[in-house]
Structure formats: C-alpha cells, structure tokens
Amino acid sequence: MSRPDGLLEYAGRIRDRIPLQGGSFDPHEVEAAIRTHPGIGAALVAGVDKDGQRRLVAYVSPPPGDPAWDASAPLPEIHGLRNHLAGVVLKEVSPTVLIRLRAIPRNRGGQEDRSALPLPTQPASERPAVHGSKFSRASATVTDPDGGRFVAAGCLTFVLAFFTLVFTPVVWSGSTDLSAVPYPWAALFFLLYVAESLAFGAGLAFLFTGYRLIERRERGRPPGRIRTVHLAASYLLLAWWPQDNAYRLAAKQDWPLQALLVYAFNIPLMVAGLVLALHVARKPDSPFDFEDKD
C-alpha cells in the first residue's frame, strides 16, 4: 500500500483478508492483539459461514513455555478473550468463537496454513462480553458468576440446618435425648447432632443448586454423568441425619430393621462414594478442542 509520502507500507496479504459485512478486514492486527493475551501463544483468525452468517473464529495454541496448558489453570475462553480485545480492536472484528489447538497447523514450508484449520463444531456464543476482566484494559472488575450461587447455597444451608435441628425431636422422638448423658459427653454428642443437621442442610442446598455449579465446571460432559455425580454428592451429605437417628432408635437385636437400615443407607453411601472416587480419579480431559489423530 502506497503512503502519501510515496513509501510502500506492508498491510498484509490480500489472500488473508476476511470478507465481513459487505467489506473485508486484515486479520493480522486482531491476531497480534490476541497474542498479547498471557494464556495464548499463537493465534489465527478465520471467517466461517454458519447458518447463513459469517462467524469470526479465533484459533489459539499455548505459549511456547506451556505446551500443554496446565489443566488446573484457567484456560483461554471466548468471553475472557473478547474482554481482552475490548478497546484494542473493533467489536465487529472481535472473534465470537474460540478453538484451542495443540499447535497452529503449518505447511511443509513452515508457514501457518489457514486452509488446514478445523471447522468449529458448536455454534458461536451470542452472549455479550463483560468488560473489565483481569485481561481487559477497562477499570471495572468482573465478579465470579458462581459467587452469588455459593452465597445463596451457604445461606440456604444454615437455614435448613436450623430447621432440621429443631424438628429432629419431632421426627425422631427420643433420638437426641441427652438428659442421661454426663458432661462432657453430652456436649460432644450435641455437636454431632449439629454436624448432622448442617450436613443435611448442605445436602438439600446442594441438591437444589449443585447441578448448575457442576455443569459449569464440566462443560461438554454428558448430562447423565453430571447428574450422577450431583446426586452422589448430595446423598453423601443427606444420608447422615436420617441414618444416625434411625440407628439410635433401632434395637440392636432387631435384625430385620438393622438389615433394612444397612441396605437403605450404608450400601448407597458406598455406591455414592465410589461414584465420586471414579469421577475424581478419571483421566483429566484434554484442554484442546481438537486432538491429533496420530
């Protein structure tokens, strides 16, 4: 491109320009801005047609010193990237889809090969980005979207625990009677009853709110697996209050009732613990959206 002073200015390759809204733009400036993100090493931007609309897709790979993206670290995601680009590039040319790759594809000459980029498998997110993340140039701050749910779940836990403790003598008459227990054992047992009530309250709160929390952290997992883990964790918290109260009222020699309690509580507790153990011990998911075939 010729400048007014007669000098030629390199403005990118014409073949790389992306048609968009009746015009076109050079993606190299956007790619350079994306590479300033601390969690991204290399980046390419491509236009993909989907449902009759042109979507801008950012293909990113890890920094050279972190070739695998530590699974415990926050991964680059589209909303954080758009926050990072806010005020740096025009909103119209900010990508709406992000795909994480092990490495940007290259041809035999070592050049970035845009024609080898994979197509996105999921539609673009239409949610607006919230400006002001830690990678943004805005001064506002972004709050954790789950923070309100944790606060609500905590408040609900204490409310439910209080009512559980109050109504325990009504539902399980005599199971928490400590009139014949000497000090300090009576105080220790009372603390146990409080702990059981708190666990039951937490279990109910998690039963109502936990699925959404797990789903947000297990994106891409089958809903059935998420629900199984959710119910297993809920049961591990819920079971102690009815189990211990029932055991305290059951006669030691009442074998049918003892067997019923074992199979109603102990066996399901073992199964729930096994479900959570398998979930925790499973092989971590790859942070990459596409895996190499070989």
Residues 60-109 pLDDT 10s = 988 876 666 655 556 788 888 999 999 898 888 899 999 988 888 888 88
Q: From CA 287, how far away is CA 101, in angstroms rounded?
A: 9
Q: What are the residues facing 100 on neighbouring strands?
A: 60
- Taking the CA atoms of the chain, what radius of gyration do you get in angstroms? 28
Q: Tell me, what amino acid is at 86?
A: A
Strands 23-25 and 42-50: what pairing?
Answer: unpaired
In Å, how far are 243, 254, 256, 258 from 251, measured between CA atoms? 14, 5, 10, 8
Confidence of residue 6 (pLDDT cuts 50, 70, 90): low
* Strand ranges (E), the chain: 18-20, 23-25, 42-50, 53-61, 97-100
Q: What is the pLDDT of residue 71?
A: 55
Length of the chain: 294
No. of helices (H) and no. of strands (E), the chain: 8, 5
The whole model's pTM is what?
A: 0.57
Q: Where are the alpha helices (DSSP H) in 20-86?
A: 27-34, 78-85
- 46 φ, ψ (degrees, to nearest 5): -135, 155
Closest listed residue to residue 105, CA positions, set 55, 49, 43: 43
Q: What is the mean pLDDT of residues 206-216?
A: 87
Q: What is the pLDDT of residue 190?
A: 95
Instruction: For tokens 């290259």, name the residue.
Output: 106
Confidence of residue 176 (pLDDT cuts 50, 70, 90): very high
Q: Check: CB of residue 42 under 8 Å from CB of residue 35.
A: yes
Q: From CA 279, how far away is CA 230, in angstroms rounded?
A: 11
Residue 269 has pLDDT above 90, yes or no: yes
Mean of the per-residue pLDDT values of the chain: 82
Confidence of residue 30 (pLDDT cuts 50, 70, 90): very high
